[in-house]
Amino acid sequence: MYRYIDIGGSHFYGKYDDATTAQGIAKMIEYCLNEGQKVSADLGYIPLPDNIRQKVAEMADKISPNYNIKLQYV
């Protein structure tokens, strides 16, 4: 049984056997939580509140134990 994380309709496994894949997914989520928020309104989305961004980052940090997501506060 695999545990997975659901972030905005995208599903990610909670663990990946390949460390490079895990880190790449964590970096992609980090991009969405930072740079993606800057353009979300232009794309028709509402930017995520900081408390939700923090919770998503905490969940996504479990994907790659060697990479910690850093949130930018604008």
Count of helix runs (H) and strand runs (E) in the chain: 2, 2
DSSP at 10: E
Closest C-alpha to 5, from 57, 54, 50: 57
Predicted pLDDT at 23: 94
For residues 65 and 47, is the Cβ–Cβ distance under 8 A?
no
In a domain, 38, yes or no: yes
Structural domain boundaries enclosing 20: 4-60
In a domain, 20, yes or no: yes
In a domain, 65, yes or no: no
In a domain, 74, yes or no: no
Q: Based on the structure, what is the number of domains in the chain?
A: 1
In a domain, 56, yes or no: yes
pLDDT of 35-73, one tens digit each?
A: 999 998 998 988 889 999 999 899 889 888 889 999 998
In a domain, 43, yes or no: yes
Distance CA 55, CA 60 (A): 9
Q: Is the pLDDT of residue 9 over 80?
A: no
How would residue 15 be classed by pLDDT, with cut points 50, 70 and 90? confident
Q: CA gyration radius for the chain? A: 12
In a domain, 72, yes or no: no
Predicted pLDDT at 10: 73
